[in-house]
Structure 1
Amino acid sequence: MSRPRACPDETLLLVATAVRDGMPYRALAAQLTADGVPTPGGRVRWYPPTITKLLQTAAGRAVLDALDR
């Protein structure tokens, strides 16, 4: 049995869209933190590796694939 995804769809889409638009991970992490968007783990500070891991999930890959179409 798999765990439910902790990242809301809106956040996942926001992150994937920003990455596809060419926003650097460091800048995106800073923006998400400044905007008060919680991480998938419920923390308040984003880091570039958090974004990397999020986009490597099955849901993250699916959103990226959908954006590529």
Structure 2
Amino acid sequence: MHFHSYSLRLDSANDFKLNLKERYSTNSSGISKLLGLKANANMELNVIVKLLESKITNDTLLTLPFLFHS
């Protein structure tokens, strides 16, 4: 499984720039350790995704409310 983190900033022309900040790779043992499971845990992908999503806070979610005009 691969994880990428990005930075988003405005440049001098007020254009958004998205840049790759870091890349991480791991295997099923690494995911199990991250989630606090036994190293040999056998889980469905959708269960892993739900567990990972539950660990994402609002501080790390990208929201661009100004792009959605009513």
**Which TM-score applies when normalising by structure 2?**
0.30
Structure in which a larger fraction of residues adopt helix? 1
Higher relative contact order (CA 8 A, sep 6+): 1
Structure in which a larger fraction of residues adopt strand? 2
**Which TM-score applies when normalising by structure 1?**
0.30
